[in-house]
């Protein structure tokens, strides 16, 4: 949480550490014209240096990414690999999921069989990934199958065509014509599963309830793999997986954690978290940076977990989407190669860089690289096996031809979140007594909230950047430092001798608070107009919400960062100006941050009064309103709704008086 109680309080520390700006003198600006527009102009001026918020979030993330250590022996690695595999599965993938989701039994319904082309046919099927969520799939089988043959799981990424994507069909056809069995899965949000309910930013609605939304993505793959290995002709020593882009991410995730996948070819599907800090095109959707994964395991770890199984890392030289070979490939090789060497399996880790066309693709050149891998390890010594792509474009079928009927009431990510939400206990206003006499229980609940928010102990320091005047209004710009992590811009305004201090924050930044600031100044208050992480001048314009999710993936929480900042401001302001401050928050995001800060504060970090404007009535509104992390990333703090609801947090904030407008 905040600074630990010791001989010197947090606020006193902040006051003692007050510094002047680097030039030692306060710069007094020429007074601009008075009036509301002038006030808005002052509030709209950046306090922090250009690019500072982005630099800080990059540094914050980079320092917290798990690093793959050196291993001297294969035995040492295998011990760590098993620990790591189980940790990722239990602490990340399956965190908080209902037991029914992990039940190995699942319903599979086989539907029509249609003619494919010379030598193969296609079986339509649907299966349950979790109870109520049916996934359409296509099984490509040779017309003549004898004995045990290789089976290949084929997944795809962000292609609206989904399982009908021609390049994916051609790959499955080529595998079937070589005597293999290929399963073509639909991916969430694509093909037949297109729709708002399946957009990946809704995964975080499930996270909010304390249930891993990532588990839905994982179980779609795992259940598909179950179907393949259960096939009567499946050779369990020859189980492959391949996919492009998001399919490449699926391939490395499942094949690293499920040892049944004996051969894998992720294509332009992922890079190391450490690489993504610098290459924003690689940041990826919600499922590719789930809460806490990067703090536990980078994708370098997952790549190493493939050892000693055959793995082909395919990237594209001129990739126009993401994961360009020039920056994505080498860090993965550098991490995994020493592990393969420990196993004496250097030749099983391979790379392929596509030059023609070199864009984001799994076309002929990349397919043939995959077939060569399959030939070398699944058909070793078979002189008849050819890696040449078999021309099959004339056999590509339409979406209608490949359509698999689905139930009308099929679940999607939003419906799954609603179900997870409805399984949680209601808050105190909806059936649970929570009286003021339960003070010890309040402290316990606050401790849980501290853990959920991942709050940090910061000793803030403050630096005055400049002073100016605006008519009768004095303006002082401060930079509040939270350790070596964050810089918070603060604009202090006052007239005459203020009677108290009010901190104001808003979803739309301090510029939007001009009218409210004017009212407070007229009422004799000192005002601290503040921009929190991901708000106002601290909002990141370039893929900002992805960086906010990155913060969660490295073990922080954007909402927790905002709460830390507000607690630091409250402690510093009390020491600097005297007396506990009041706080006003405008908008659902700022209001939740302020309430979270007050509910978990202690001592001089707790405001005397908290006024929330346009606050959420309940965290359940987030899911009921079908909001997504792409717009409100900090609201989707993992397990927050499980820890309590708005009314519970209001109770925890006492004796702070909370008013909602």
Which pLDDT score, from 0 to 100, does residue 106 have?
Answer: 83
Instruction: Give pLDDT tens digits for 568-614.
Output: 999 999 999 998 999 999 999 999 999 999 999 988 789 999 999 99
State pLDDT tens for residues 56-74: 999 999 999 999 999 999 9
For residue 436, pLDDT beyond 80: no
- Beta-carbon neighbour count of residue 350 at 10 Å? 17
496: helix, strand or coil = coil
The tens digit of pLDDT for each residue in 400-413 reads 999 999 999 999 99
Q: What is the pLDDT of residue 427?
A: 58
First to last CA, the chain: 28
Asked whether the CA dihedral 544, 545, 546, 549 is positive or negative, the reply is positive
Tokens at 53, concatenated: 């918020």
Q: Please say if the pLDDT value at position 12 is more than 80.
A: no
Q: How far is CA 351 from CA 104, 275, 376, in A?
A: 35, 18, 14
* pLDDT at residue 242, rounded to an integer: 98
Mean pLDDT, residues 12-34 taken together: 36
pLDDT of residue 2: 35
Bridging pattern class, strands 486-494 and 473-482: antiparallel
Encode pLDDT of 529-562 as tens digits: 999 999 999 998 867 899 999 999 999 999 999 9
- Average pLDDT score over residue span 25-45: 64
Reduced to 3 DSSP states, what percent helix, strand and coil does the chain have, rounded to the nearest 5? 40, 20, 40
Three-class SS string for 578-609? CCCCEEEEECHHHHHHHHHHHHHCCHHHCCCE
The whole-number pLDDT of residue 30 equals 38
Spatial neighbors of 422 by CB under 8 A, at least 6 apart, are none
Average pLDDT of the residues in 112-123: 97
Decide if 89 contacts 101 (C-beta within 8 A). Answer: no
Spatial neighbors of 196 by CB under 8 A, at least 6 apart, are 202, 414, 626
* All residues at 6 or more sequence positions from 304 whose CB lies less than 8 Å from its CB, including other chains: 68, 77, 81, 335, 336, 339
Nearest to 234 by CA among 198, 260, 252: 260
In this structure, are residues 110 and 125 in contact, taking their beta carbons and an 8 Å threshold?
yes
For the cut 80, the answer to whether the pLDDT of residue 431 exceeds it is no
CB count, 10 Å around CB of 391?
11
Query: In sequence order, which residues have a C-beta less than 8 Å from that of residue 193 and are 6 or more positions away?
Result: 135, 136, 162, 186, 187, 412
Contact partners, residue 35, CB within 8 Å, separation at least 6 = none
What count of residues does the chain have? 661
Does residue 116 contact residue 142 with C-beta atoms inside 8 Å?
Answer: no
Strand order in the sheet with 120-130: 108-117, 120-130, 133-142, 181-185, 149-155, 234-244, 263-267, 311-316, 349-354
Helix axes 558-577, 439-453, angle to 10 degrees: 120
For 250-334, where are the E strands, in sequence order? 263-267, 311-316
Instruction: Locate 644 and state its tokens.
Output: 């309590």
Q: What is the pLDDT of residue 35?
A: 52
Instruction: Judge contact between 557 and 638, C-beta under 8 A.
Output: yes
Indicate whether 626 pLDDT > 80. Answer: yes
Contact between residue 220 and residue 189 where contact means Cβ atoms under 8 Å apart:
no
Distance separating alpha carbons of residues 140 and 169, to the nearest angstrom: 9
- Calpha distance 233→243 (Å, rounded): 23
Domains defined along the chain, listed by start: 10-64+445-660 (3.40.50.1820), 74-421 (3.40.50.1820)
DSSP secondary structure, 101-154, as one string: GG-S---EEEEEEEEEETTEEEEEEEEEEETTEEEEEEEEEESS--S-EEEEEE
Q: Determine contact, residues 493/487, Cβ cutoff 8 Å.
A: no
Show Cβ contacts of residue 140 under 8 Å, excluding neighbours closer than 6 positions. Answer: 116, 120, 121, 122, 172, 173, 175, 176, 181, 182, 183, 184
**In the predicted model, is pLDDT for residue 432 greater than 50?**
no
User: pTM of the predicted model, to two decimals?
Assistant: 0.92
């Amino acid at each position: 949480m905040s600074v630990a109680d010791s001989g010197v309080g947090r606020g006193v520390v902040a006051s003692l550490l007050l510094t002047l700006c680097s030039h030692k003198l306060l710069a007094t600006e020429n007074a601009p014209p008075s009036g509301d527009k002038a006030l808005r102009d002052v509030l709209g001026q950046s306090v922090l240096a250009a690019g500072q918020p982005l630099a800080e979030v990059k540094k914050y993330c980079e320092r917290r990414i798990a690093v793959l250590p050196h291993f001297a022996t294969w035995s040492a690695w295998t011990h760590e690999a098993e620990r790591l595999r189980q940790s990722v599965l239990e602490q990340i993938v399956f965190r908080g999921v209902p037991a029914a989701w992990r039940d190995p039994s699942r319903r599979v319904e086989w539907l029509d069989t249609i003619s494919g082309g010379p030598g193969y046919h296609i079986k339509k099927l649907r299966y349950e990934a979790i109870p109520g969520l049916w996934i359409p799939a296509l099984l490509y089988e040779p017309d003549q199958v004898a004995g045990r043959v290789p089976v290949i799981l084929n997944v795809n990424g962000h292609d609206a065509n989904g399982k009908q994507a021609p390049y994916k069909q051609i790959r499955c056809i080529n595998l079937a014509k070589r005597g293999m069995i290929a399963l073509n899965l639909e991916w969430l949000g694509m093909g037949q599963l297109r729709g708002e309910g399946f957009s990946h930013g809704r995964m975080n609605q499930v996270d909010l309830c304390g249930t891993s939304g990532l588990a839905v993505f994982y179980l779609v793959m795992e259940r598909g793999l179950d179907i393949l290995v259960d096939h009567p002709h499946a050779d369990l020593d020859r189980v492959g997986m391949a996919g492009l882009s998001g399919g490449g991410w699926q391939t490395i995730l499942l094949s690293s954690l499920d040892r049944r996948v004996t051969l894998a070819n992720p294509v332009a599907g992922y890079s190391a978290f450490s690489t993504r800090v610098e290459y924003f095109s690689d940041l990826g959707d919600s499922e590719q940076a789930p809460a806490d994964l990067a703090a536990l395991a980078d994708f370098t770890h997952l790549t190493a977990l493939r050892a000693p199984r055959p793995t082909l890392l395919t990237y594209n030289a001129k990739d126009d989407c993401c994961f360009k070979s020039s920056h994505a490939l080498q860090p993965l090789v550098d991490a995994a190669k020493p592990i393969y060497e420990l196993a004496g399996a250097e030749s099983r880790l391979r790379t392929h860089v596509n030059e023609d066309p070199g864009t984001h693709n799994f076309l002929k050149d990349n397919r043939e690289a995959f077939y060569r891998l399959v030939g070398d390890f699944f058909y070793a010594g078979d002189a008849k096996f050819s890696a040449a792509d078999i021309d099959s474009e004339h056999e590509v079928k339409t979406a209608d031809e490949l359509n698999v009927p689905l139930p009308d009431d099929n679940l999607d990510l939003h419906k799954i979140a609603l179900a997870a939400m409805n399984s949680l206990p209601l808050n105190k206003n909806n059936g649970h007594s929570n009286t003021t006499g339960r003070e010890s229980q309040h402290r316990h609940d606050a401790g849980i909230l501290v853990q959920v928010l991942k709050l940090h102990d910061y000793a803030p320091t403050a630096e005055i950047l400049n002073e100016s005047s605006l008519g009768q209004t004095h303006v002082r710009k401060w930079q509040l430092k939270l350790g070596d992590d964050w810089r918070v811009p603060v604009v202090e305004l006052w007239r005459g001798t203020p009677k108290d201090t009010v901190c104001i924050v808003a979803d739309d930044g301090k510029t939007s608070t001009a009218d409210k600031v004017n009212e407070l100044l007229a009422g004799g208050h000192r005002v601290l107009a503040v921009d929190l992480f991901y708000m106002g001048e601290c909002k990141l314009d370039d893929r900002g919400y992805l960086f906010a999710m990155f913060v969660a993936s490295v073990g922080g929480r954007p909402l927790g960062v905002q709460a830390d900042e507000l607690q630091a401001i409250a402690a510093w302001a009390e020491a600097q100006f005297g007396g506990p401050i009041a706080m006003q928050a405008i908008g659902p995001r700022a209001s939740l941050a302020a309430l979270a800060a007050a509910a978990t504060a202690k001592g001089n970090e707790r405001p005397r009064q908290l006024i929330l404007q346009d606050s959420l009535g309940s965290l359940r509104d987030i899911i009921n309103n079908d909001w997504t992390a792409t717009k409100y990333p900090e609201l989707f703090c993992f397990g927050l709704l499980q820890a309590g609801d708005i009314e519970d947090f209001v109770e925890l904030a006492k004796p702070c008086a909370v008013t909602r407008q």
